[in-house]
Structure 1
Amino acid sequence: MAPNDSAETTEEAKDLAAGRRKAARYIVPVAVAGVAAATIGLVPALAASGDPDLPDITAQKLIEKIAASETQQLSGTVKIKTDLGLPDFGGLAESFVPKGGAGGGEGSSAAPESKLMELASGSHTLRVAADGPEKTKVSILEDKAEYSLIHNGDEVWAYDSASNEVFHAKDADAGKDSGKESKAPGEDLPQTPKEFADEALKAADDTTSITVGGTAQVAGRDAYQLVIKPKQSGSTIGSIKVAVDAENGTPLKFTLTPSSGGKAAIDVGFTKVDFSKPAASTFEFTVPKGAKVTEADELEKGNGAKGHEKFKEEFKGGEFKGEDFGGPEDFEGLNVIGEGWNAIAKFESPAGSDVKAPKDGDVPPEAQNFLDALGDPVKGDFGSGTVFKTRLVNALMTDDGTVYVGAVTKDALVKAANEGK
């Protein structure tokens, strides 16, 4: 077993930051169409088969090992297991998003965004493959169907066998020296154990404890366990454990356990993995006979944008105009309260005090049940509002339109609102 070495001093924290910057350059770009939060988990019986006896290593050296990993080629099988404390999505996606996505109009069930919500809860099995940043493939395996997303050079293909529909897009940045990493649809969020680990290490500073917590065997590979914990109280994150391949430094498993305890909220890992070069045919795609093909630019034309505005108007009961929606610049007075794992973002909603909780009948039943399950009414010196909660991220929206959000407890949000009234 490796020692429980601590890497918590100020000087070591600086070294960790340098290691994290280097690590960011070695992300294995396996495209998994999922959300933040979408995750890859291991059934314990498959993941653990005894703790290997490995040479001792410090936390700093293990982080450097992750940073030095140059893994660009792999294939394997993964499972997604996510428990964010959200209600079963069921038909929720269809309730909130018209066919073809939020843009409305005639769309495609094969479009990557159509699969995002499905991976935010429950358990899913996937096959993944990568050969450098511009050749990736992920297939979501279902009982009687399969969904595949393929990125091959400047071509992006997605196929939904259940509906026999194909989505096709051109990656305009592929192969160009644009100064930014090429990304296919669905690749913007963390998708592999390494990407999740990199995101976690970005938060590692003097508010963080980083230690080596022994060894493990994942997908038949010997691994060290890197343990990341907040030093502060009040965070919803209890600990993060990253299993790092002892040979090549590639993170094989990522497990996030909330401070409230219980089973992991996010568990990301391989059940099988092979670091040899995948066959070139893995990334080739031929449109199946009779399949409907939708081009990405088709969804951006016609009635797409118009349908999107109509959807927003209907969902808000006609109270909001199109200009009330937009990017982060539309959220006034954005500032951060606190630091480290207890940081809380505070901003004014674009609609301000005009925000009104939806009434019965304003939204579809599935969506209303979802909102009811998430929201808790709260009161304090700030007034009154509603806390929308998950096992990781909570948000307080006051009745006057101020929003507080962070990976902190409900009490921490109420305290921040009281102090900021």
Structure 2
Amino acid sequence: MAPYESGDNTGAAEVDDLPTGRRKAARYVVPVAVVGVAAATIGLVPALADSGDPDLPKISAQQLIEKIAKSDVQQLSGTVKTGTDLGLPDLGGLESGLVSGVARSGDGSSADPTSKLTELLTGTHTLRVAEDGPDRQKVSLIESAAEYSLIHNGKDVWGYDSKSNEVYHGTAHQDAKGRKGHTEEPPATPKDFADEALKSVDDTTSVTVDGTVRVAGRDAYKLLIKPKQSGTTVGAISIAVDAKTGMPLKFTLTPSSGGAAVIDAGFTQVDFARPAASTFDFTPPKGSKVTENDDHASKGSGKDFPKRGDGLAKGLEGDEFAKGLKGGGGFDVLGKGWNTVATFDTGSKGGLPSGSAGGDLGGFLGSLGDRVTGKFGKGTVFSTRLVNALITNDGKVYAGAVTKDALVKAANAAK
């Protein structure tokens, strides 16, 4: 195992010295966690760091990771700006339409959190967040002349879309161990992103302390995560860690191809004082349409407010995730570390849809990709600045945070 190195190569520690929770499923979480992170938002925001490098005591990468692991912030309020730049082609708003259609395909309410939060798949977003322990959280998505709020207060979960004046109401359930239910929503805060990134750390990764920075008016250390392997599209991940609380304040992922960040999420303002109790109060406005989903929540459908940071990660841990990949209709995992490729068989021969059923869809999709050949046969690679996917003519899919050449190599090796 390669050591974690501090900026001056002091205080090195082995990966196996990390808390157990930080080493779960390192082999499997890439590229799926990275894909999940990348899918959280599409857009680009400016750098969120303040000017000036604070003078802080030296700390090793091992100590900084342990500081993150021990961080237990229970109360906060603040503003988060998030966005990514995957370099997707301009489809004239088609992406937004598709996302909106998916969002409306559930219970039909625009206030349903599992539908509304899919809007984070596109655009640049500003979120207001507040938390007071495990039973009170609020996230507000600030939109043009409108706002969507998701509120968890005790047993109640409320979603309110001011644009449509629709309300969602659910009940937070508990499992047999007394844990509150949560939904598999996209990451939203820097902590959510950081939790996912740290799971990918193994002996194929270099981790160092890269100086200090000020974020949202607070002193922070910079943790730098870089793949040692070639063939990955991930260049580096930088996490600004609050020097006092150990909570991640900013997350930036840059691609190996260079240029602007693919993902940039950070607090522009944060306060660790307890929010006012009224922050979490909600009464449906007069004339609003209220959709009740108590039955779904009590059965654990996932339509409940998550504990912050427990969304996407929950399905990516340990043996349960590995079994899910290997199970019927699931994924197989090829490669190691940052060069991991997820693959599955669609069961559909002929590659991209075509003919009368697909109309011109196959030709349209094909125009967005690159035709490739190899021992595996023929196929099309669809590329972004982070996540790439190869669809072969015999119906197999290979996807990962790897280059086009790495995908072709993986497909050849799988034959």
| Letter matched to residue 126 of structure 1 | L
Task: Note the C-alpha offset of 1:257.
Answer: 0.6
**What value does the CA root-mean-square deviation take over the aligned residues?**
3.2
Aligned position for 1:102: 105
Q: Say whether residues 1:199 and 2:193 are aligned partners.
A: no
Deviations 1:353-404 (A, max 9, x none): 2654256984899x996x4575322222211112122221111111111221
Aligned position for 1:230: 227
**Structure 2 residue aligned with 1:343, among 327, 331, 340?**
340
Unaligned 5+ segments in structure 2 are: 25-35, 298-323
Residue 115 of structure 1: SS of its match in structure 2?
A: helix
- How is 1:213-228 mapped onto 2 (pairs within 5 angstroms)? 213-228=210-225
Residue 392 of structure 1: SS of its match in structure 2?
A: coil
| Letter matched to residue 253 of structure 2 | L
| Letter matched to residue 130 of structure 1 | E
| Letter matched to residue 133 of structure 2 | G
Aligned position for 2:305: none
Q: Say whether residues 1:115 and 2:109 are aligned partners.
A: no
- Contact persistence 2:213–2:240 (CA under 8 A): yes
Which deviates the most, 187-196 or 337-346? 187-196
Write the distance in 1 (CA, Å) between the matches of 2:290 and 2:8: 54
Aligned position for 2:329: 331
Which deviates the most, 188-197 or 92-101? 92-101
Aligned position for 2:349: 353
| Letter matched to residue 56 of structure 1 | K
Residue 408 of structure 1: SS of its match in structure 2?
A: coil
Q: Say whether residues 1:68 and 2:74 are aligned partners.
A: no
Deviations 1:304-325 (A, max 9, x none): xxxxxxxxxxxxxxxxxxxxxx
Task: Note the C-alpha offset of 1:78.
Answer: 1.1
| Letter matched to residue 67 of structure 1 | A
Aligned position for 1:128: 129
When normalised by structure 2's length, the TM-score is: 0.80
Aligned position for 1:43: 46
Q: Say whether residues 1:92 and 2:95 are aligned partners.
A: yes
**Structure 1 residue aligned with 2:386, among 385, 392, 410?**
392
| Letter matched to residue 104 of structure 2 | G
Unaligned 5+ segments in structure 1 are: 23-33, 301-326
Write the distance in 1 (CA, Å) between the matches of 2:10 and 2:65: 10
- How is 1:10-409 mapped onto 2 (pairs within 5 angstroms)? 12-16=14-18, 18=20, 20=22, 37-38=39-40, 43-44=46-47, 47-87=49-89, 90-95=93-98, 98=101, 101-103=104-106, 107-173=108-174, 178=177, 180-183=179-182, 185=183, 188-296=185-293, 329-331=327-329, 334-349=331-346, 351-353=347-349, 356-358=352-354, 362=358, 371=365, 374-409=368-403
| Letter matched to residue 235 of structure 2 | G
Q: 1:82 to 1:353 in 2, by over 3 A?
A: same
- Contact persistence 1:111–1:167 (CA under 8 A): yes
Task: Note the C-alpha offset of 1:287.
Answer: 0.4
Task: Note the C-alpha offset of 1:132.
Answer: 1.6
Write the distance in 2 (CA, Å) between the matches of 1:122 and 1:363: 29
Write the distance in 2 (CA, Å) between the matches of 1:122 and 1:95: 14
Which deviates the most, 267-276 or 125-134? 125-134
Deviations 1:41-97 (A, max 9, x none): 8633x5222111111111011111111111111100111221122345734354466
Task: Note the C-alpha offset of 1:112.
Answer: 2.0
Deviations 1:120-139 (A, max 9, x none): 23321111101122211111
Identical amino acids, percent of aligned pairs: 60
Residue 353 of structure 1: SS of its match in structure 2?
A: coil
When normalised by structure 1's length, the TM-score is: 0.79
Residue 129 of structure 1: SS of its match in structure 2?
A: strand
Task: Note the C-alpha offset of 1:16.
Answer: 2.9
Task: Note the C-alpha offset of 1:19.
Answer: 6.9
Task: Note the C-alpha offset of 1:171.
Answer: 1.7
- Report how many aligned residue pairs link the two structures: 371
Residue 239 of structure 2: SS of its match in structure 1?
A: strand
- Contact persistence 1:147–1:160 (CA under 8 A): yes
Residue 234 of structure 1: SS of its match in structure 2?
A: coil
Write the distance in 2 (CA, Å) between the matches of 1:70 and 1:99: 35
